[in-house]
Amino acid sequence: MKIYVTKDKKEMNQKAAEIILERIQEKPDMTLGLATGGTPEGTYDDLVNDHQQHGTSYQNITTFNLDEYVGLPSDDPNSYLSYMREHLFNHIDIPPEQTNLPNGTAEDLEAECDEYETRIHGHGGVDLQLLGIGENGHIGFNEPGTSFGSKTHIVELAESTREANARFFDSKDDVPTHAITMGIQTILKAKEIVLMISGERKQEALLRLLHGGVSEDFPASALKEHPNLTVIADEAAIENKS
């Protein structure tokens, strides 16, 4: 595990963008695994700025997002497809057909999970997976207790996750109860993983990731066994024990 500690969230986001841009230069047709939420927003801003200023092209890039809510139409402002369009896809030159998210309104959700998993591997797998982390250690929407052998599946969101995500909705009741997420095994198959952790609320999760054991009670601990993991944490996420 490689760890970078940055002064603040902005620098954390920049560092992640730098790594992504380096990889795109090395492999312009790479497959990027993407996350949503508050953590990567600044990284997407940096990628968009870079695209506008330096013309980095995404014409040959393919993306796979980690997850999508169940039941939200894709044009709902809170769907993760809308998030990705707003923060990244609409501002770079990636062909829409090369962007992939699970379809949370599929008639047969189980079949959609299997198809998404097959699509990822059929494409040759993810080269670099960007991740955030939940306060309870979830990665993707793999909540505590999820098997490390899990593939893309339907999850019931933990109450704490729905509360944490309520800030994007009018109220907690509007937060969907279920989502489709890549499984932990799916995530671990990425050739490289970049995990960003920012803010005081994530201190405990970071402490547990760095110093705790590997256990299904804490999904992010699965990452400790990945051969190419980079953690980028801002100072606020580092617990101040004084």
Let me know if 138 is a catalytic residue.
Answer: yes
What's the Cα-to-Cα distance from 105 to each of 5, 67, 74, rounded to whole Å? 39, 13, 8
Q: State the minimum distance, in angstroms, from the CB of residue 63 to ligand F6R.
A: 12
Q: Are 233 and 194 in contact (CB under 8 A)?
A: no
Q: Among residues 68, 117, 127, 143, which one is catalytic?
A: 143
Q: State the minimum distance, in angstroms, from the CB of residue 16 to ligand F6R.
A: 12
- Distance from C-alpha of 151 to C-alpha of 136, rounded to nearest angstrom: 20
Let me know if 67 is a catalytic residue.
Answer: yes
Q: Which amino acid is at 242?
A: S
Contacts with ligand F6R by CB under 6 A lie at 35-39, 66-67, 132-134, 138-141
Let me know if 165 is a catalytic residue.
Answer: no
Q: State the minimum distance, in angstroms, from the CB of residue 214 to ligand F6R.
A: 18
Q: Are 148 and 216 in contact (CB under 8 A)?
A: yes
Task: Annotate 20-31 with DSSP letters as a single string.
Answer: HHHHHHH-TT-E
- The DSSP secondary-structure symbol of 149 reads T
Let me know if 200 is a catalytic residue.
Answer: no
Q: Among residues 13, 65, 67, 127, which one is catalytic?
A: 67
Nearer to ligand F6R, 35 or 229 (CB): 35
Nearer to ligand F6R, 52 or 187 (CB): 187
Q: Residue number with the shortest CB distance to ligand F6R?
A: 132
Q: Which amino acid is at 102?
A: P
User: Which residues are marked as active site?
Assistant: 67, 136, 138, 143
